[in-house]
Structure 1
Amino acid sequence: MNMTNLDAITSTDQLPVQARTHWSASDIPSQHGRLAVITGTGGIGFETALALARAGGEVIIAGRNAKKGADAVARICADVRSAKARFEQVDLASLESITDFGTRLRSQHKSLNLLVNNAAVMNPPDRQETADGFELQFGTNYLGHFALTLQLLPLLCLGRDARIITLSSIAARNGAINFEDLQAERSYKPMRVYSQSKLACLMFALEFQRRSKAGRLGIASIAAHPGISRTDLLHNAPGRWSGTGMMRTFLWFLFQPASQGALSSLFAATSPLARGGGYYGPARLGGMRGAPAEAAIPKRALSLGNASRLWEISERLTGMKMLVPGPTEM
């Protein structure tokens, strides 16, 4: 596929034949013997964890809220009697919490097969900050997952057919990395900042793949987006009575179920057809719904210079670098 024409693709009819798919959860290959970490206790994250557990995988649901995490695990175990599922607490808005989480997992496991960077916050009406002083959406959606990935990298390097799946959004199409005001200190517009964070996630997935290949790490980094799905994200972040929250409430029929939205992540995480450096999302209605297929990569995500610059800034902000020691040495 010609990369320069990717952003012009908006529907299944425009996708090349080999990119079309009717892939569903029934196509997930056996996950027995594989360990996955999924961030987020509800919505797309929960459905991803549930499907992996149904396929025989061991899943760790990682999130901030212990009660929601326990509820998610209980629901999975009620659905899958033989499920190997547990909750681990991590706050993606705190570098200290992310470091503690990484330390725990490296002491508990010898390897990791799958990391799904899924959790997100969306459109808080007023600018908020993480525990480390980052703007909340950029700090949680992007920098938190950047740091988490580097913390778990030693385990991933030892995992068979290891994959990192990073969730972007169709909002990334309108995103731009404002290097002069990454933390939106001068001007905060919720949707613009959310779009920037999701563009950064996509750029991170692509840049990690380049670095993985150059370093011969054997880890596939793949991006995905869920289209427009019925989750609590729009309700919880901007509020039920905001413009986006009301759209979710009253135009619910335009949104596909979370289980359908999770298929893009699951395809990227499990399908032999998913490739490192790929980007997958729903095939229909301009990427809003449908079975997973190859998605259009916005031109702004393809700038190698901006990706390298963003990576270097992220290392400086988080204090973490792409080092690959043994699992107990970091």
Structure 2
Amino acid sequence: MQPFACGWPYHQTKLANAVFTVAMDDRLKASNSKVKVCCAAPGLAATNLQVTTSQDDGFHAQWIMRFGQSGEDGTMPLLRCCAAPGVESGDFYEPEGLGNIKGLPAKFTPEPICTNPHSSRILWEESEKACGAFKVE
């Protein structure tokens, strides 16, 4: 059961990002590529995304933002993936505190739904149908 129906599309796009990261990592490793692909989740960052979503009849629970972190702090998992030593291809980073919605970025093991080979194959095939074949080197 989903607590906020308007959050369902957002959840699905974040899931697709994670599944695609796993699929891309698998393909890059199979081709002995030196390219690194990682997944970063910002947690709950107080940005204009929630304001504009609410205005467009989306997420209306603005009260939850008092538990969020700044937009700048929300960038920390992404910065960790891009610039920190020891980050490897296929790593997942998100905030480590308060239910993974705020705090310092930490490496996490993706949930099984993100690493399911069947889901990965389907998403990859559908992405190529929509965008054309991807060349992985």
CA offset at residue 255 of structure 1? 1.1
Where does residue 216 of structure 1 map in the other structure?
Answer: 32
Gaps of 5+ in 2: none
Match of 2:23 among 196, 202, 207: 207
Tell me, what secondary structure is at the counterpart of 1:282? strand
C-alpha separation in 1, matches of 2:31 and 2:24: 10
Gaps of 5+ in 1: 1-173, 175-188, 326-330
Q: Give the AA of the match of 2:115.
A: L
Where does residue 135 of structure 2 map in the other structure?
Answer: 323
Q: Against the structure 1 CA distance between its residues 317 and 210, is the aligned structure 2 distance closer, same or farther, given a 3 Å change threshold? A: same
CA offset at residue 283 of structure 1? 0.7
Ranked by relative contact order (alpha carbons within 8 Å, sequence separation 6 or more), the top structure is: 2
CA offset at residue 297 of structure 1? 1.6
Q: Output aligned runs, 1:260-279, within 5 Å.
A: 260-279=73-92
Partners of 1:202 and 1:223 within 8 A in 2: yes
Q: Output aligned runs, 1:45-124, within 5 Å.
A: none
Partners of 2:93 and 2:105 within 8 A in 1: yes
Q: Give the AA of the match of 1:229.
A: A
Identity %: 25
Where does residue 59 of structure 2 map in the other structure?
Answer: 244
CA offset at residue 253 of structure 1? 2.5
Q: Output aligned runs, 1:175-214, within 5 Å.
A: 190-214=6-30
Q: Does 1:287 align with 2:100?
A: yes
State the Cα RMSD in Å.
2.1
Match of 2:49 among 221, 228, 233: 233
C-alpha separation in 1, matches of 2:64 and 2:32: 47
Higher helix share: 2
Q: Alignment length, in residue pairs?
A: 134
So what's the TM-score if we normalise by structure 2?
0.87
Q: Give the AA of the match of 1:200.
A: A
Task: Say which one has the larger Rg.
Answer: 1
- CA-to-partner distance for each residue in 1:229-268, whole Å, 9 max, x for gaps? 111111112328x573442xx4443110011110000001
